[in-house]
Structure 1
Amino acid sequence: MRAAAFLYPWDVVGDPGAPGRLAALGVQQVTLASAYHSTRALTPRHPRHRVITARHSAVLYPPDPARWQHGAPQPYHQDWVVCDDPGGPYAEAARALTEAGLEVHSWVVLAHNSRLGEDFPHTSVRNAYGDRYPWAPCIARPEVRAYAVALAAEAAVRPGTGTRGTELESCGWYGLAHLHAHDKTGGVPLHGAAAALMSLCFCEVCEEGYATLGGDPERLRDGVVRALEPLWRNERAAAPPGESGRAGERAAIEGLLGAEAAALVAGWRDAAASRLQREAVAVVRQEAAPGRFRVLLHADPAPHRTGANAGTRPADVLGHADGVVVPCPGGPAGGAERGDALGPFAADGGPGATLAANFTVVSGMGGSPHTLADDAAHARALGATELRLYHAGLASDQDLAAVAEALAGQGPEG
């Protein structure tokens, strides 16, 4: 199968040997970050540094001032990667990778932005208790959707860089789950249904949306709080018996909220996510030059799930995007969920749809590069057409050697 590796521009800028190492790995594509959230990243092979600290969400190119309205949400500049290219770190890295024979696709993070939540607090998801999640913009809000769609258009295409496609991450609802700095939220374990309830938004726009569908926002909020109360007392009743996987989570949500309330919430949130996804894909296609420019979404087949792999309805998202990138736990740790996100997309994808199985290949982050060959074969049997490898810049030399061996064993195109 065709394979692509994720990469940050700072893995390439200042390291002339990086493109050659990536090409030797056996991948055909690099998915290169052009708009990314805050992070602290190791660079184990870079000749000039070992740790990059991206202090806030930012774009890795100079944003076009004419595209953005003063006083409204807009992309943030970065200063942690210095380069001479007027197109910024993304352009410099993209050109170097292209010259090494690698196809470059942009990697764009949309609805995950902590600084946006600090500067525009009203745009954040607000849970049933009134707590705001500054890292999670509420995609039902018109100003958030306008920002995300404009960001998709600007960050995805990057004219003059040789970019051939894009992968849109967090193109949908974000929620409670977030690896925040010094995160202290693990004291009470949250099962899937509880995490979903803690991710429901009750900002004024969402409350109005629930009301337009015939719901009572206050009654719905009280229902969420009551459903979660046993969790804080550490009672087993908070975790419905038999909840397992995506279908079990959906059933558990209905059991906790009631079928009518659960359907109402799902109707509002699914419509908001679908609108953002459709508009983002459409504007990228409009922005791209005539010809083939592939648009994929990082996605989960369960609409209630939130995060980087935003929940979708497979038939819906594959009706307008060229395909999806889905998380696939690899190795023995994958357990029962090993590739289970692939099936629903494979069932609804047409003959030309891309279904990319995303495997973590960094051992220190729980990945299993040494089982990649078996994991890839399993994914292919479930319908995967391509591989994604997270993350070539973060992995150790030993991890990358295992990846190269696995890719060599399957041949250049599978």
Structure 2
Amino acid sequence: MRASAFLYPWDVVGDPDAAARVADLGVQQVTLAAAYHSTRALTPRHPGRRIVTAEHAAVLYPPDAARWAGRRLRPYAQSWVASGDAYAEAAQALTDAGLEVHSWVVLAHNSRMGAEHPETSVVNAYGDRYPWAPCIARPEVRAYLVDLAAEAAVRGGTTGGTELESCGWYGFAHLHAHDKIAGVGLGDAAQYLMSLCFCSDCRTGYAGQGLDADELRRAVRAALEPAWAGSGSPDAGWSGVEKLLGPDLAAATLRWRVQVARTLQESAVEAVRAAAGKGFQVLLHADPAPYRSGANVGVDAQHVMDVADGVVLPCTGGDTQRETYLGPFAGRQGVVAANFTVVSGMGGSPATLERDAAHAASLGANQLRLYHAGLASDPDLTAVTEALSRLGR
């Protein structure tokens, strides 16, 4: 199977050995960040640094001033990589090492936007805003995300395609700095309720589904009350949501959210293809449960494969997770990429990559994604190299 390793431009810029080191892993491709959220990242092999602090969501290239002139919502430039165009510089080095470069674009995940423009954020049933989660129902947010997708995906040095992350709803779950939310266990179903948005646009959207937004808000809060008292339902999955909220209310909220997410995905993919021309591959990071939100956005398998060229699916969590995520895509035309964390310290298991990749292939995966070549330790990368060598025989 074709394998691609995720990488940040700062893993390559300033390190003359980085591109060759990644090529030596046995991958054919790099998925290189062009637009990314805030993070603090190790660079364990870089000759000039060990930590990069990306203080806010930013693009790793110079944004087009003409495209964004006069607009309130516009991409933020990065300041933590000493390069006029970090993406292009890294992409050139990787291409020179014989690797294909696809862009990696994070869309609806931007804490700085939420801080500077709070009205753009998801608002939960309690009136709390999630500054990291732009509400994709808001027209100004949608226009920004579609244009960002078109610009960031098709950068100089990109040689074949893009992967769009967070191209849909973001919600309650978030790897937030100094997170303190684990005191009350919220299961999958309760997190859905905590991710429902009650901004003015979503309230109008609920009305279009025959719902009174205030009554829905009260119903959500009542359904969550047992969780705050420590006796919440452990039920997961969509049946758990129906149990908490009731089948009719649950279905109506999902209709609204699916409609919003699908049309955003359609618009983003269309904009990327228009900017790139024929032959440019567009993949979405996805979850086959349409009600879920986050970096891997909830999708309907048939719809997303009709819209995009394929999906990237999280497959690190064991055989059952792989069966759950890959099953809905079995037999469908297009790219089905199994994404494995190969950083042991982040829960990955590079030592079992050969076996896990073979299992994913038996379930219909036809490509591999390896997260993350810049973050992994030397022993992790050695295990990856050995696994890919055996898989390629």
TM-score w.r.t. length of structure 1: 0.93
Take 1:271 and 1:162, find their aligned partners in 2: how far apart are those partners?
31
Aligned to 1:169: 165
Query: Per the alignment, in what secondary structure is the counterpart of residue 93 of structure 1?
Result: helix
Take 1:180 and 1:320, find their aligned partners in 2: how far apart are those partners?
31
Aligned to 1:389: 370
> Which residue type is aligned with residue 180 of structure 1?
H
Give the deviation of 1:336 after TM superposition.
3.0
Aligned to 1:64: 64
> Which residue type is aligned with residue 326 of structure 2?
L
Aligned to 2:53: 53
Gaps of 5+ in 2: none
TM-score w.r.t. length of structure 2: 0.98
Take 1:35 and 1:386, find their aligned partners in 2: how far apart are those partners?
23
Take 1:299 and 1:214, find their aligned partners in 2: how far apart are those partners?
29
Q: Structure 1 162/171 Cα, relative in aligned 2: closer, same or farther at 3 Å?
A: closer
Q: Is the 8 A contact 1:329 1:339 kept in 2?
A: no
Aligned to 1:336: 320
- Of 234, 239, 247, the residue aligned with 2:233 is 239
Aligned to 2:103: 106
Q: Is the 8 A contact 1:105 1:164 kept in 2?
A: yes
Aligned to 2:77: 77
- Of 222, 227, 251, the residue aligned with 2:223 is 227
Q: Structure 1 199/70 Cα, relative in aligned 2: closer, same or farther at 3 Å?
A: same
Runs of 4+ in 1 over 3 A off after TM superposition: none
Size of the aligned set, in residue pairs, is 393
Aligned to 1:249: 237
Take 2:323 and 2:154, find their aligned partners in 1: how far apart are those partners?
30
For each residue in 1:200-224, what CA deviation from the matched residue of structure 2 results, as whole angstroms up to 9, or x when unmatched? Answer: 0000100011011211111111110
Q: Structure 1 44/409 Cα, relative in aligned 2: closer, same or farther at 3 Å?
A: same
Take 2:378 and 2:327, find their aligned partners in 1: how far apart are those partners?
33
Q: Structure 1 206/162 Cα, relative in aligned 2: closer, same or farther at 3 Å?
A: closer
For each residue in 1:103-129, what CA deviation from the matched residue of structure 2 results, as whole angstroms up to 9, or x when unmatched? Answer: 000000000000010111001000000
Q: How do 1:2-401 residues align onto structure 2 when only pairs under 5 Å count?
A: 2-83=2-83, 86=84, 88-158=85-155, 160-235=156-231, 238-240=232-234, 243=235, 248-289=236-277, 291-330=278-317, 334=318, 336-347=320-331, 349-350=332-333, 353-401=334-382
Q: Is the 8 A contact 1:327 1:357 kept in 2?
A: yes
Query: Per the alignment, in what secondary structure is the counterpart of residue 262 of structure 1?
Result: helix
Query: Per the alignment, in what secondary structure is the counterpart of residue 312 of structure 2?
Result: strand
Q: Is the 8 A contact 2:103 2:158 kept in 1?
A: no
Take 1:339 and 1:171, find their aligned partners in 2: how far apart are those partners?
23
> Which residue type is aligned with residue 371 of structure 1?
T
Query: Per the alignment, in what secondary structure is the counterpart of residue 306 of structure 2?
Result: coil
For each residue in 1:17-47, what CA deviation from the matched residue of structure 2 results, as whole angstroms up to 9, or x when unmatched? Answer: 0010011000000000000000000000000
Query: Per the alignment, in what secondary structure is the counterpart of residue 31 of structure 1?
Result: strand
Q: Is the 8 A contact 1:34 1:90 kept in 2?
A: yes
Give the deviation of 1:162 after TM superposition.
3.9
> Which residue type is aligned with residue 180 of structure 2?
K
> Which residue type is aligned with residue 183 of structure 2?
G
Aligned to 2:389: 408
Take 1:121 and 1:69, find their aligned partners in 2: how far apart are those partners?
21
Query: Per the alignment, in what secondary structure is the counterpart of residue 341 of structure 1?
Result: helix
CA RMSD of aligned residues (A): 1.1
Q: Is the 8 A contact 1:39 1:56 kept in 2?
A: yes
Q: Structure 1 380/58 Cα, relative in aligned 2: closer, same or farther at 3 Å?
A: same
Take 1:363 and 1:161, find their aligned partners in 2: how far apart are those partners?
31
Take 1:188 and 1:273, find their aligned partners in 2: how far apart are those partners?
29
Take 2:185 and 2:28, find their aligned partners in 1: how far apart are those partners?
40
Take 2:329 and 2:217, find their aligned partners in 1: how far apart are those partners?
32
Take 1:338 and 1:346, find their aligned partners in 2: how far apart are those partners?
12
Give the deviation of 1:190 after TM superposition.
1.0
Take 1:215 and 1:119, find their aligned partners in 2: how far apart are those partners?
31
For each residue in 1:28-73, what CA deviation from the matched residue of structure 2 results, as whole angstroms up to 9, or x when unmatched? Answer: 0000000000000000000000000000000000000111142421
Give the deviation of 1:339 after TM superposition.
4.1
Take 2:355 and 2:103, find their aligned partners in 1: how far apart are those partners?
28
Q: Is the 8 A contact 1:359 1:389 kept in 2?
A: yes
Give the deviation of 1:345 after TM superposition.
1.9
Query: Per the alignment, in what secondary structure is the counterpart of residue 26 of structure 1?
Result: coil
